[in-house]
Structure 1
Amino acid sequence: MTDNLTKRGQPDRSKINMHEAHEVKYWTRALGVTREELQKAAEKVGNSAAAVRKELGKEADAQ
């Protein structure tokens, strides 16, 4: 997702930015996890959405 909220292009959903509240909100809802679970997974495998999904066992839920 983009950090610049004025940009109208498609958000980059391949990365998770834990420093942006709107992204944390999106990813916790999309993956059905808590912020803490998301943070722990991102710290372990990095900010790649695919890697975080895999770590959380959510790869079948991929968009």
Structure 2
Amino acid sequence: MSFQILSKVITDRRQFKCNLSVIFFFFFSILDLVQVVILVQEDYRMSLREKIFCTQNTG
């Protein structure tokens, strides 16, 4: 009886650990995605600003 409970606890913990690693993986991949999006937006904004600046100077 106690052995069954112990084995159940062990398997639950293993499962939990696995789920936790999956959650962490998703979390970090989402963070990476967000960083990429932010970088792209900043790059776009900078290029837009440069375009506006160049057209103002040449115009």
TM (norm. structure 1) is 0.21
Higher relative helix content: 2
Q: Which of the two has higher C-alpha Rg?
A: 2
Larger relative contact order (Cα-Cα within 8 Å, sequence gap ≥ 6): 1
